[in-house]
Structures are given as structure tokens and as C-alpha cells.
Amino acid sequence: MIELCSRRRMIAAIIVLVCVSIIIVLLENILTPDGVHGRRVAVSSEAPLPAAHNLSSALPATALPESAPGQRHCWESQTFTVARPCRRCTGFEKASGSVPECGHSDYIELLNCEKDGKVYRGCDGARDQGQRQFWLLELISLCSALVSGGAVIVRQRQLERTALGKIQRQLAAQV
């Protein structure tokens, strides 16, 4: 079946498929909600704080420890903005314990809750890793497609030369 398609049609089909894939990725990126549990939050344009900055003074004095049962975090009951998007904890933050959430998750984000102020929250760093893996897969697929396409072209030329050589020998034998 694929032998019936001309080279021009195959190239056009590949270009259309690549364009559709790019459009799907862009639409998914635009339409996927930010935040946790499908909740859209506003992203602040506030300048990021230094990585080693300790915000324990910004936490309310009545804040419960992370392991307390029935604890309600400010982002569960208040409006909040993301002051600094999800990032990996630094070695200093992990070793010093200045950000307790780094003990539970390797990734944190800084939230600015309406009443409680700035607090850290553990976040899912797998989202960035998943996106990185997706683009790596796309790159590997593109490279394998180019190598396979090159191999097909080389093999086709070899077969054409072989067929042309047979025809020339047959013509030479008849004369």
C-alpha cells in the first residue's frame, strides 16, 4: 500500500502529521490548568527570593506541624497566588531543614496565601520531568525517522542500480 504513494505525498503526509502533533502539544499546554487538583491559580510576577531564604518568620505562629492530623493548609481554604513556581530543593535547604517541605518532597513552590502570607508547599516535580521525557522521546523519534528514511533512500538507489544493471545486461545480450 505504501508503495503506491509518491514521494511527494509521503512528505506532505509527514508534514501534516508533524503540524498536527505540534498543535496538539500547544493546545494541551494552553488548556491544562495550573495549580493543584485542577484549580487555576494566579502566578505572581514578584521577583524570586534567594534560594537559601528562610521564610519561617512568614509562617503564622499558629501553624501546625506537617504531620498533625486534620491540619488545614492555607491553600486549601484561602485564595493564593504562586509567588515562585515549582523548583527542586537546594542541598542547603535539605541539609539545614530551613524549609521543612524539602524533607517530604524534593520539589517546593512558594505560595502567597491571602491571610497567612508566604508559605512553602511541596509540589510535583514529575510534571517537569515528564515534559522533559516527552521532548526527549520526540527527539529520539525524529532522529530514528531521519536515519530510517536515509536507509530507505540508500536501499532504493541500490535496488534501482541493480535493476538498471540487469536491464543493460539483457539489452547487451540481445544485440
pLDDT surpasses 80 at 51: no
pLDDT single digits (tens) 53-95:
434 333 333 333 343 445 677 878 888 888 888 888 888 888 8
Half-sphere exposure of 168 (CA within 13 A, CB side): 6
pLDDT-derived band at 104 (thresholds 50, 70, 90) equals confident
What is the torsion angle, in degrees rounded to the nearest 10, for the CA atoms of residue 146, residue 152, residue 153 and residue 158?
150
Percent of the chain clearing pLDDT 70 (strictly above): 74
Q: Which CATH number, 3.30.1240.10, 3.30.720.220, 3.40.50.80, 3.30.70.100, labels domain 37-61+72-124? A: 3.30.720.220
* Cβ contact 120:141 at 8 Å: no
Please determine, for residue 153, whether its predicted confidence score (pLDDT) is greater than 70: yes
Predicted TM-score of the model (pTM): 0.38
Domain boundaries, the chain: 1-32, 37-61+72-124, 125-169
